[in-house]
């Protein structure tokens, strides 16, 4: 198909998607006109007499919502000031039928109708729409009336304060020993920056975590699940696991010995990695072994 044919086909599909009397699913790459299609669909709804406050548009991002509001305002504002011929041409191209005087008057008044409508057209992000519902029905949703949603910067600042308070609490002499031991274990594995990142990730999964490890019974169940996945016993200790891993039956000792000898014949760094400076290290390994 030629480029002209592709554009014609796309234009027909876009026009069909703007028709407000049936549902439409639009799937397209970025920059191919999805926002224009949605704006045209809303405009056609308004031309058919639908009240602006009864229209709801949801987007994923604030930028997309702002872009659509600007496009719609620009189009309706242009129609309010356009001459009859220019206005008729735009409206006819949108609805694909001749424009009568009544429809022309409706198109001119759309800009004022949207401005005068209570709340205007609701073009919101999904998050903003859900927040509005929660504010309207807080008791039904189980949240405190009059709640406020934190901005991202404020949330991060509070999280840092909470982390500092946590560190200070665990440093006190009367701190719970098991919590101190847990923090020491984490501190030995991650830096302070990584710790903050880890806490942020855990907070995003707090609903999942609370549903599974909110009490000691949940911790035992999770410990058992992890043990089964790792092929060990829930009561195994770190020293016990390390000792079992060093048993002759736990790995291919003969293969390891062969790899060490091959490295010993390589360059300087290979020789160091082979342990050739301590040959007894490999000679002590059994000649044959079974792999678990």
Q: What is the pLDDT of residue 125?
A: 92
Higher pLDDT, 62 or 267: 62
Lowest mean pLDDT among 2-6, 88-92, 252-256, 265-269: 2-6
Average pLDDT over residues 269-287: 61
Res. 6: pLDDT tops 50? no
Residue 37 and residue 117 in one domain: yes
- Alpha-carbon distance of 118 to 53, in angstroms, equals 6
Is residue 148, in this structure, part of any structural domain at all?
Answer: no
Res. 287: pLDDT tops 60? no
Residue 56 and residue 130 in one domain: yes
- Alpha-carbon distance of 33 to 45, in angstroms, equals 19
3-state secondary structure of 33: coil
Q: What is the pLDDT of residue 277?
A: 62
Lowest mean pLDDT among 33-42, 208-217, 283-292: 283-292
| Cα first-last separation, the chain | 61
Q: How many CB atoms lie within 10 A of CB 91?
A: 22
Helix (H) or strand (E) holding 240: helix 238-245
Token pair recorded at residue 156: 């991060």
- Alpha-carbon distance of 286 to 276, in angstroms, equals 17
Higher pLDDT, 66 or 28: 66
> Which residues neighbour 234 within 8 Å (Cβ) at sequence distance 6 or greater?
220, 223, 224, 227
Is residue 64, in this structure, part of any structural domain at all?
Answer: yes
Residue 174 and residue 275 in one domain: no
Q: Where are the alpha helices (DSSP H) in 82-215?
A: 84-95, 101-116, 126-136, 138-141, 152-170, 177-187, 192-204, 206-213
Q: Give backbone dihedrals phi and psi of 114, rounded to 5 degrees, phi first.
A: -65, -40
Is the separation of the CB atoms in 198 and 190 below 8 Å?
A: yes
Is residue 62, in this structure, part of any structural domain at all?
Answer: yes
- Domain region containing 159: 153-237
Q: What is the pLDDT of residue 113?
A: 92
Has this prediction a pTM greater than 0.75?
A: no
pLDDT for 221-242, tens place per residue?
Answer: 888 998 899 888 888 888 888 8
Is the separation of the CB atoms in 88 and 104 below 8 Å?
A: yes
3-state secondary structure of 183: helix
Residue 267 and residue 220 in one domain: no
Res. 292: pLDDT tops 60? no
Q: What is the pLDDT of residue 81?
A: 92
pLDDT for 122-163, tens place per residue?
Answer: 999 999 999 999 999 999 988 889 888 888 888 888 888 888
pLDDT for 67-118, tens place per residue?
Answer: 999 999 999 999 999 999 999 999 998 888 899 999 999 999 999 999 998 8
**Which residues share a beta bridge with 180?**
none
Residue 251 and residue 128 in one domain: no
């Amino acid at each position: 198909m030629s480029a002209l044919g592709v554009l014609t086909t796309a234009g027909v599909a876009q026009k069909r998607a703007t028709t407000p009397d049936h549902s439409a699913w639009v799937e397209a790459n970025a920059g191919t006109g999805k926002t224009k299609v949605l704006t045209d669909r809303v405009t056609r709804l308004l031309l058919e007499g639908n009240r602006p406050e009864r229209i709801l548009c949801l987007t994923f991002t604030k930028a997309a919502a702002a872009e659509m509001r600007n496009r719609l305002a620009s189009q309706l504002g242009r129609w309010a000031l356009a001459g009859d011929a220019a206005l008729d041409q735009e409206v006819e191209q949108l609805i694909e039928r001749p424009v009568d005087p009544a429809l022309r008057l409706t198109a001119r008044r759309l800009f004022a109708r949207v401005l005068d409508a209570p709340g205007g057209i609701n073009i919101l992000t999904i998050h903003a729409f859900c927040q509005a519902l929660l504010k309207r029905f807080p008791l039904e949703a189980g949240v405190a009336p009059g709640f406020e949603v934190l901005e991202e910067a404020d949330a991060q600042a509070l999280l840092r304060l909470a982390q500092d308070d946590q560190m200070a609490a665990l440093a006190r002499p009367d701190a719970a020993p098991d919590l101190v031991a847990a923090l020491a274990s984490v501190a030995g594995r991650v830096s302070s920056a990584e710790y903050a990142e880890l806490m942020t990730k855990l907070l995003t999964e707090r609903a999942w975590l609370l549903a599974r490890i909110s009490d000691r019974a949940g911790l035992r169940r999770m410990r058992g699940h992890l043990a089964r996945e790792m092929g060990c016993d829930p009561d195994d200790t770190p020293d016990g696991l390390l000792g079992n891993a060093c048993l002759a039956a736990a790995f291919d000792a003969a293969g390891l010995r062969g790899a060490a000898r091959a490295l010993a014949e390589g360059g300087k760094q290979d020789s160091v990695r082979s342990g050739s400076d301590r040959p007894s290290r490999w000679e002590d390994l059994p000649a044959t072994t079974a792999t678990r």
